[in-house]
Amino acid sequence: MNRMRSRNSGSVLVRIGKKLFLLIIILGLPSILFISTFYIKKLEVVGTQRYTAEQITAELIKTKLDSNSLYLYLKHRYIADVKLPFVEKIDVTMTGTHTVTAYVYEKMIAGCVEFMGEYMYFDKDGIVVESSSRRLEDIPIIKGLKFDRILLSEKLEVQKDELFDVIINLTQLVHKYELNVDTITFNSDYEVTLDSGDIRILLGKKNTYDETLSELKNILAEAKGMEITIDMRNYVKGEQNIIAKQKNPTE
């Protein structure tokens, strides 16, 4: 009787063992194939200017599982949303079983203002799109403005409605003519002064700054490395009415 029980127990254990082995094969084999077939050998980053490819890669691949191309694609297709300042979104596509391309779409920034210790960045429509302690060197800071409040995803509010149009016009022209402008400053009479490195440019108050900034592009190329003040307040296209003088140390 004891021998029969021992045999039955043994056969039950064998059957259980076989089922467990079969279950491991059924579940484990696809996992092994999944890991070996889709591991990432190359991740290409396209479209980023404010971040390095290494920074984007580090943001995408944070765990061992993220190194799987299929998993990474599905994760960023249906679940994950990369949260990086100045990045609108990142599209991850599989270009092969072992290769992935990350397309980075950065936020369009026109200018920024300082508010409560932060840089508040706005787009070409004046919508505040980012708040950061990081200063972007290629984005001009607007100075001389007063704000009661600034809210993300809302339009920048300034003390005069018409002043807002001037700000947007100036920042768009700075980008259009690829001017290296650090600051755009308004005085109490809303006259405009630009700073480009050690060069100060007096623009004054105009209805439009297009012709002036178009000419300024050529002037800055010639004046590179100088410490001067350029007076373009009375500039008229085609006339020699631009004054350049040594910059005052107190300015």
Q: Tens digits of per-residue pLDDT, 17-62? A: 555 545 544 554 455 555 567 788 999 999 999 999 999 999 999 9
Domain residue limits, the chain: 42-106, 111-246
pTM of the model: 0.73
| Choice between 248 and 250, residue whose per-residue pLDDT is larger | 248
Give the mean model confidence (pLDDT) for residues 84-92: 91
pLDDT tens-digit map of 97-138? 889 999 999 998 989 999 988 999 998 888 999 999 989 988
- Asked if 201 and 243 count as a contact pair (C-beta separation under 8 A), the reply is no
pLDDT tens-digit map of 169-225? 999 899 999 999 999 999 989 999 999 999 999 999 988 899 999 999 888 988 888
> What percent of the chain is modeled with pLDDT above 90?
41
What's the CATH architecture for 111-246? Answer: 3-Layer(aba) Sandwich (3.40)
pLDDT at 82 over 70: yes
How would residue 4 be classed by pLDDT, with cut points 50, 70 and 90?
very low
One-letter-per-residue 3-state SS of the chain: CHHHHHHHHHHHHHHHHHHHHHHHHHHHHHHHHHHHHCECCEEEEECCCCCCHHHHHHHHCCCCHHHEHHHHHHHHHHCCCCCCCCEEEEEEEECCCCEEEEEEEECCCCEEEEECCEEEEECCCCEEEEEECCCCCCCCEEECCCCCCCCCCCECCCCCHHHHHHHHHHHHHHHHCCCCCCEEEECCCCCEEEEECCEEEEEECCCCCHHHHHHHHHHHHHCCCCCEEEECCCCCCCCCCCEEEECCCCC
Report residue 203: phi and psi, to 5°.
-100, -25
What's the CATH architecture for 42-106? Answer: Roll (3.10)
